[in-house]
Structure 1
């Protein structure tokens, strides 16, 4: 197996840029003073990214997963994280067995 140096260089460059953008975010975020709407927008980023990752999978894999995702989202407002994860896992297992 031979390694194409152009491809290897491109992958290495992308890895370096990705690493530095993540590190830069940590350094810049500590220096930002946010208030009001900007703080609310930054606080909404983690749940928005989580939904953007989970929703396509939950809604395209089948009815059991979609219903389990809805149950888990409902429970997430009332229970702590570990209990929410447990309810999600149990609900998807049970629904896969039933549906």
Structure 2
């Protein structure tokens, strides 16, 4: 196996490059909230993309249901609860993937 791997020319084999984007400073703008990959696109290296999207949906639903100060206030609370978590996931996945 090691001989086969050593014989592979990376310039002639098929490669799929994986890229991510820097964490957004805001997940919310006015009455618009970003969830899932729209708000925190990450590499697949820690397997948390789908989980983070579901977490976003649950937190957004809870903030909209439990706060009667209006949508903007609920979205600010969503931002406050999710921003650090999703930034951490993006950066951990990047570190593990060593995206350049």
Alignment TM-score > 0.5, same fold: no
* Larger relative contact order, structure 1 or 2 (CA cutoff 8 Å, min sep 6): 2
> Would you tell me which structure has more helix in proportion to its own residues?
1
Point out the structure with max Rg over C-alpha.
1
Tell me the TM-score normalised to structure 2 length. Answer: 0.28
Tell me the TM-score normalised to structure 1 length. Answer: 0.28
